[in-house]
Amino acid sequence: MMLTHVSVGQTIDYDKKLKELGIELIPATKPIANYVKAVRTGNLLFLAGHGPSLTDGTVMTGKLGQNYTVEQGYQAARQTAISLISTLKNELGDLNKVKRIVKVLGMVNCTPEFTDQPKVMNGCSDLLVQVFGEKGKHARSAVGMNALPLGMAVEVEIIVEIE
């Protein structure tokens, strides 16, 4: 169920929404190099690239077109969205501070012949819209990469407008 029509002043309980969708946020992960997970400037929050981290701390690794199908890549991108939402919750304390998901950059670890990056990245985009409704609709780029850190299947960074 997508909540797209919300009355002025009405607040959506995003924790409840996540529970309804059966989504368990993951513990906050630490950067793997010399950077921070999020930077706020004005009313924009820039999240560093996140991968498909699982609740046990492992990361989904492999290449689309070699180790993963488009559907498996979609699931990796969906899991990456869960990682991003987990960082948002950790940084903001309250997901109701999200005013809009502005921009998504999706990078897909793939073979040179693989051209379904947009279909893979729909896993991330679809989940952001399921959780945030109209606020989750965003501009997006989906590109193929010959390699990603730790061999992860997908890496995504987002820009979020916050209250």
Handedness of CA 140, 101, 135, 44 (dihedral sign): negative
Q: Quote the tokens at residue 66.
A: 């070699």
Domain annotation covers residue 28: no
pTM of the model: 0.92
Tokens of 88: 């948002």
Is residue 17 assigned to a domain?
A: no
- Residues 103-160 pLDDT 10s: 999 999 999 999 999 999 999 999 999 999 999 999 999 999 999 999 999 999 999 9
> Measured between alpha carbons, how far is 109 from 151 in angstroms, rounded to an integer?
8
CATH number of residue 63's parent domain: 3.30.1330.40
pLDDT at 132 (0 to 100): 96
12 within domain boundaries: no
Q: Report how many domains make up the chain.
A: 1
Q: Residues 52-109: pLDDT tens digits?
A: 999 888 999 999 999 999 999 999 999 999 999 999 999 999 999 999 999 999 999 9
Question: What does the alpha-carbon distance between residue 131 and residue 127 come to, in Å, rounded to a whole number?
Answer: 6
- For residue 85, what are the domain limits? 36-162
The answer as to whether 48 is a domain residue is yes
Instruction: Specify the residue for token string 């290449």.
Output: 63
Q: Do the domain assignments include residue 42?
A: yes
Q: What is the DSSP letter of 107?
A: E
Indicate whether 7 belongs to any domain: no
